[in-house]
Amino acid sequence: MEHVSNLFAEERKGLIASLVEERGKVNVGELCKRFGVSSATIRNDLRELENLRLITRVHGGALKRSRVTEEVLIDSRSTTPRPAKQAIARIAIGQVDDGDTIVLDTGTTCHELSLLLKDRSDVTVITTDLPSALSMEAFPSVRVILVGGVLRRGYHCTIEPGVSSWDDLVADKVFLGANGFTLEKGAMTPDIGQAAVKRGMIRASRKVILLCDSTKFGKSSLVRFAPLGKIDLIISDRIPQEITQILEAEGIDHLSHHND
Protein backbone atom coordinates (compact mmCIF):
# COMPACT_ATOMS: atom_id res chain seq x y z
CA MET A 1 0.00 0.00 0.00
CA GLU A 2 1.17 3.51 -0.80
CA HIS A 3 1.71 5.62 2.33
CA VAL A 4 -0.71 8.57 2.70
CA SER A 5 -0.73 10.91 5.71
CA ASN A 6 -1.91 14.37 6.86
CA LEU A 7 -5.45 13.77 5.70
CA PHE A 8 -8.66 15.07 7.20
CA ALA A 9 -10.71 12.34 8.89
CA GLU A 10 -13.43 12.41 6.21
CA GLU A 11 -10.83 12.10 3.43
CA ARG A 12 -9.26 9.13 5.19
CA LYS A 13 -12.59 7.36 5.65
CA GLY A 14 -13.45 7.94 2.01
CA LEU A 15 -10.16 6.34 0.94
CA ILE A 16 -10.72 3.40 3.31
CA ALA A 17 -14.19 2.80 1.86
CA SER A 18 -12.73 2.89 -1.67
CA LEU A 19 -9.99 0.43 -0.72
CA VAL A 20 -12.51 -2.03 0.74
CA GLU A 21 -14.68 -1.76 -2.36
CA GLU A 22 -11.70 -2.29 -4.66
CA ARG A 23 -9.87 -5.05 -2.76
CA GLY A 24 -12.73 -6.80 -0.97
CA LYS A 25 -10.96 -6.71 2.40
CA VAL A 26 -8.42 -4.71 4.42
CA ASN A 27 -6.77 -5.14 7.81
CA VAL A 28 -6.19 -2.63 10.58
CA GLY A 29 -2.38 -2.96 10.53
CA GLU A 30 -1.96 -2.06 6.88
CA LEU A 31 -4.38 0.85 7.22
CA CYS A 32 -2.37 2.20 10.17
CA LYS A 33 0.81 2.12 8.07
CA ARG A 34 -0.85 3.64 5.01
CA PHE A 35 -2.43 6.58 6.83
CA GLY A 36 0.07 7.05 9.66
CA VAL A 37 -2.53 6.88 12.42
CA SER A 38 -3.15 4.66 15.44
CA SER A 39 -5.14 1.42 15.44
CA ALA A 40 -7.73 3.09 17.67
CA THR A 41 -8.29 5.76 15.00
CA ILE A 42 -8.65 3.17 12.25
CA ARG A 43 -11.09 1.09 14.30
CA ASN A 44 -13.15 4.21 14.93
CA ASP A 45 -13.14 4.94 11.18
CA LEU A 46 -14.28 1.39 10.42
CA ARG A 47 -17.04 1.66 13.01
CA GLU A 48 -18.37 4.84 11.42
CA LEU A 49 -18.17 3.36 7.91
CA GLU A 50 -20.13 0.31 9.06
CA ASN A 51 -22.78 2.56 10.60
CA LEU A 52 -23.09 4.17 7.17
CA ARG A 53 -23.59 0.66 5.69
CA LEU A 54 -20.48 1.03 3.50
CA ILE A 55 -18.42 -1.88 4.90
CA THR A 56 -18.73 -4.89 7.20
CA ARG A 57 -16.33 -4.91 10.17
CA VAL A 58 -14.62 -8.18 11.10
CA HIS A 59 -11.95 -9.03 13.68
CA GLY A 60 -8.76 -7.23 12.63
CA GLY A 61 -10.19 -5.34 9.67
CA ALA A 62 -13.12 -4.96 7.29
CA LEU A 63 -14.81 -6.67 4.34
CA LYS A 64 -16.74 -5.41 1.38
CA ARG A 65 -20.39 -5.24 2.30
CA SER A 66 -22.16 -8.44 1.24
CA ARG A 67 -25.17 -8.13 -1.02
CA VAL A 68 -26.59 -11.21 0.66
CA THR A 69 -27.09 -9.31 3.92
CA GLU A 70 -27.81 -5.91 2.41
CA GLU A 71 -31.23 -4.42 2.94
CA VAL A 72 -32.28 -0.86 2.15
CA LEU A 73 -34.33 1.13 4.66
CA ILE A 74 -37.90 1.20 3.47
CA ASP A 75 -37.97 4.97 2.94
CA SER A 76 -34.92 4.69 0.63
CA ARG A 77 -36.10 1.88 -1.65
CA SER A 78 -36.00 3.17 -5.22
CA THR A 79 -34.61 0.35 -7.37
CA THR A 80 -38.10 -0.60 -8.55
CA PRO A 81 -40.26 2.25 -9.89
CA ARG A 82 -43.57 2.74 -8.10
CA PRO A 83 -45.61 2.00 -11.29
CA ALA A 84 -44.21 -1.56 -11.29
CA LYS A 85 -45.28 -2.05 -7.67
CA GLN A 86 -48.70 -0.57 -8.43
CA ALA A 87 -49.09 -2.94 -11.40
CA ILE A 88 -48.39 -5.90 -9.09
CA ALA A 89 -50.90 -4.56 -6.57
CA ARG A 90 -53.59 -4.18 -9.25
CA ILE A 91 -53.18 -7.86 -10.15
CA ALA A 92 -53.07 -8.92 -6.51
CA ILE A 93 -56.30 -7.14 -5.57
CA GLY A 94 -58.07 -9.56 -7.92
CA GLN A 95 -57.14 -12.32 -5.47
CA VAL A 96 -59.02 -10.63 -2.61
CA ASP A 97 -62.71 -11.47 -2.34
CA ASP A 98 -65.33 -9.68 -0.25
CA GLY A 99 -65.47 -11.32 3.17
CA ASP A 100 -61.87 -12.56 3.05
CA THR A 101 -59.47 -12.61 5.97
CA ILE A 102 -56.01 -11.89 4.61
CA VAL A 103 -52.51 -11.50 6.00
CA LEU A 104 -50.55 -8.58 4.58
CA ASP A 105 -46.76 -8.51 4.84
CA THR A 106 -44.64 -5.39 5.25
CA GLY A 107 -42.92 -3.66 2.32
CA THR A 108 -43.70 -1.13 -0.38
CA THR A 109 -45.49 -3.49 -2.78
CA CYS A 110 -47.74 -4.85 -0.04
CA HIS A 111 -48.45 -1.27 0.99
CA GLU A 112 -49.62 -0.50 -2.57
CA LEU A 113 -52.02 -3.44 -2.24
CA SER A 114 -53.35 -2.10 1.06
CA LEU A 115 -54.39 1.14 -0.68
CA LEU A 116 -56.64 -0.81 -3.07
CA LEU A 117 -58.56 -2.61 -0.33
CA LYS A 118 -60.88 0.37 0.02
CA ASP A 119 -62.92 -1.18 -2.82
CA ARG A 120 -63.52 -4.45 -0.96
CA SER A 121 -66.30 -5.16 1.55
CA ASP A 122 -66.12 -6.94 4.91
CA VAL A 123 -62.41 -7.71 4.63
CA THR A 124 -60.24 -8.45 7.67
CA VAL A 125 -56.53 -7.65 7.28
CA ILE A 126 -53.92 -9.00 9.69
CA THR A 127 -50.61 -7.17 9.38
CA THR A 128 -47.40 -6.10 11.11
CA ASP A 129 -46.98 -3.10 8.79
CA LEU A 130 -47.59 0.28 10.40
CA PRO A 131 -48.05 2.41 7.22
CA SER A 132 -50.53 -0.08 5.76
CA ALA A 133 -52.48 -0.23 9.03
CA LEU A 134 -52.69 3.57 9.17
CA SER A 135 -53.83 3.77 5.53
CA MET A 136 -56.54 1.16 6.02
CA GLU A 137 -57.82 2.89 9.15
CA ALA A 138 -59.77 5.18 6.80
CA PHE A 139 -61.54 2.26 5.05
CA PRO A 140 -64.84 1.57 6.86
CA SER A 141 -65.28 -1.84 5.17
CA VAL A 142 -61.85 -3.12 6.29
CA ARG A 143 -61.16 -4.46 9.77
CA VAL A 144 -57.47 -4.14 10.67
CA ILE A 145 -55.69 -6.41 13.15
CA LEU A 146 -52.20 -5.12 13.92
CA VAL A 147 -49.93 -7.85 15.30
CA GLY A 148 -47.63 -6.38 17.92
CA GLY A 149 -44.02 -7.03 18.83
CA VAL A 150 -40.73 -5.19 18.74
CA LEU A 151 -40.61 -2.23 16.36
CA ARG A 152 -38.07 -2.83 13.59
CA ARG A 153 -36.59 0.63 13.25
CA GLY A 154 -36.36 1.96 9.71
CA TYR A 155 -38.77 -0.65 8.34
CA HIS A 156 -42.04 0.51 9.97
CA CYS A 157 -43.12 -2.94 11.12
CA THR A 158 -43.07 -5.26 14.13
CA ILE A 159 -41.12 -8.48 14.63
CA GLU A 160 -40.59 -10.71 17.69
CA PRO A 161 -42.12 -11.44 20.16
CA GLY A 162 -45.20 -11.21 17.94
CA VAL A 163 -44.06 -14.32 16.05
CA SER A 164 -45.92 -16.66 18.42
CA SER A 165 -49.20 -14.82 17.74
CA TRP A 166 -49.45 -16.34 14.26
CA ASP A 167 -50.02 -19.86 15.57
CA ASP A 168 -53.42 -18.79 16.91
CA LEU A 169 -54.60 -17.02 13.75
CA VAL A 170 -56.35 -18.38 10.63
CA ALA A 171 -56.52 -16.53 7.32
CA ASP A 172 -57.68 -17.29 3.79
CA LYS A 173 -54.61 -15.83 2.04
CA VAL A 174 -51.26 -14.26 2.79
CA PHE A 175 -49.58 -11.68 0.55
CA LEU A 176 -45.82 -11.72 1.07
CA GLY A 177 -42.95 -9.57 -0.14
CA ALA A 178 -39.37 -10.78 -0.64
CA ASN A 179 -35.88 -9.34 -1.03
CA GLY A 180 -34.73 -12.20 -3.24
CA PHE A 181 -36.07 -15.23 -5.09
CA THR A 182 -34.31 -18.16 -6.75
CA LEU A 183 -35.68 -21.46 -8.03
CA GLU A 184 -33.23 -23.34 -5.81
CA LYS A 185 -34.02 -21.57 -2.53
CA GLY A 186 -37.39 -19.90 -3.01
CA ALA A 187 -38.23 -16.59 -1.30
CA MET A 188 -35.63 -14.91 0.92
CA THR A 189 -35.05 -11.94 3.23
CA PRO A 190 -31.89 -10.51 4.85
CA ASP A 191 -33.30 -10.43 8.38
CA ILE A 192 -33.69 -13.52 10.60
CA GLY A 193 -36.43 -11.94 12.72
CA GLN A 194 -38.37 -10.89 9.64
CA ALA A 195 -38.07 -14.40 8.22
CA ALA A 196 -39.60 -15.83 11.40
CA VAL A 197 -42.57 -13.48 11.06
CA LYS A 198 -43.08 -14.43 7.41
CA ARG A 199 -43.02 -18.14 8.29
CA GLY A 200 -45.66 -17.46 10.93
CA MET A 201 -47.79 -15.68 8.34
CA ILE A 202 -47.52 -18.71 6.06
CA ARG A 203 -48.54 -21.09 8.86
CA ALA A 204 -51.64 -19.00 9.52
CA SER A 205 -52.81 -18.92 5.89
CA ARG A 206 -54.51 -21.35 3.55
CA LYS A 207 -53.06 -19.82 0.36
CA VAL A 208 -49.58 -18.28 -0.01
CA ILE A 209 -49.19 -15.49 -2.57
CA LEU A 210 -45.78 -13.94 -3.24
CA LEU A 211 -45.63 -10.37 -4.58
CA CYS A 212 -42.22 -10.23 -6.23
CA ASP A 213 -41.04 -7.49 -8.57
CA SER A 214 -38.75 -8.51 -11.42
CA THR A 215 -35.58 -7.11 -9.80
CA LYS A 216 -35.78 -9.83 -7.11
CA PHE A 217 -35.60 -12.84 -9.46
CA GLY A 218 -32.22 -14.53 -9.36
CA LYS A 219 -31.18 -12.49 -6.33
CA SER A 220 -30.15 -14.26 -3.12
CA SER A 221 -30.56 -13.03 0.43
CA LEU A 222 -29.52 -14.32 3.85
CA VAL A 223 -32.54 -16.30 5.08
CA ARG A 224 -35.07 -18.43 3.21
CA PHE A 225 -38.61 -18.13 4.53
CA ALA A 226 -40.52 -20.00 1.82
CA PRO A 227 -39.18 -22.79 -0.40
CA LEU A 228 -40.79 -23.14 -3.80
CA GLY A 229 -43.17 -25.84 -2.57
CA LYS A 230 -44.73 -23.50 0.01
CA ILE A 231 -45.81 -20.90 -2.58
CA ASP A 232 -49.17 -21.21 -4.36
CA LEU A 233 -49.07 -18.11 -6.58
CA ILE A 234 -46.39 -15.61 -7.68
CA ILE A 235 -47.43 -12.16 -8.92
CA SER A 236 -44.89 -9.89 -10.60
CA ASP A 237 -44.52 -7.04 -13.06
CA ARG A 238 -42.45 -9.37 -15.26
CA ILE A 239 -41.40 -13.02 -14.82
CA PRO A 240 -38.44 -14.34 -16.87
CA GLN A 241 -39.42 -17.15 -19.22
CA GLU A 242 -36.97 -19.63 -17.70
CA ILE A 243 -38.59 -19.12 -14.30
CA THR A 244 -42.09 -19.36 -15.78
CA GLN A 245 -41.28 -22.76 -17.28
CA ILE A 246 -40.12 -24.16 -13.94
CA LEU A 247 -43.12 -22.73 -12.09
CA GLU A 248 -45.46 -24.39 -14.54
CA ALA A 249 -43.60 -27.68 -14.22
CA GLU A 250 -43.92 -27.45 -10.43
CA GLY A 251 -47.63 -26.59 -10.61
CA ILE A 252 -47.16 -23.09 -9.15
CA ASP A 253 -49.53 -20.45 -10.54
CA HIS A 254 -48.11 -17.14 -11.75
CA LEU A 255 -49.49 -13.81 -12.96
CA SER A 256 -47.58 -10.84 -14.35
CA HIS A 257 -48.15 -7.44 -15.92
CA HIS A 258 -45.78 -8.26 -18.82
CA ASN A 259 -44.84 -11.64 -20.24
CA ASP A 260 -41.28 -12.41 -21.39
Q: How many domains does the chain have?
A: 2
Q: Are residues 233 and 189 in the same domain?
A: yes
Dump pLDDT digits (tens) for 118-164: 999 999 999 999 999 999 999 999 999 999 888 877 777 888 766 77
Q: Are residues 182 and 126 in the same domain?
A: yes
Whole domain around residue 141: which residue ranges? Answer: 74-259
Dump pLDDT digits (tens) for 191-231: 888 999 999 999 999 999 999 999 899 888 889 999 999 99
**Is the pTM here over 0.75, yes or no?**
no
What is the distance in angstroms between the CA of the first residue and the CA of the last residue of the chain?
Answer: 48
Three-state DSSP state, 197:
helix
Supply the mean pLDDT for the chain. Answer: 88
Run of H or E including 96: none
Dump pLDDT digits (tens) for 74-124: 454 444 568 889 999 999 999 999 999 999 999 999 999 999 999 999 999
> What local confidence, expressed as pLDDT, does residue 76 receive?
45
Dump pLDDT digits (tens) for 159-180: 876 677 898 999 999 999 999 9
Q: List the CATH number of the domain containing 34.
A: 1.10.10.10
Q: Are residues 48 and 163 in the same domain?
A: no
> What local confidence, expressed as pLDDT, does residue 66 receive?
62
The answer to whether position 184 is within a domain reads: yes
Dump pLDDT digits (tens) for 46-76: 988 887 777 888 888 888 876 554 554 545 4
Q: Are residues 34 and 145 in the same domain?
A: no
Domain boundary among 64, 92, 111: 64
The answer to whether position 100 is within a domain reads: yes
Q: Are residues 55 and 81 in the same domain?
A: no
Greater confidence, 211 or 257?
211
- In angstroms, the CA 179 to CA 31 distance is 34
Q: Please, are residues 35 and 42 in contact by the beta-carbon 8 Å criterion?
A: yes
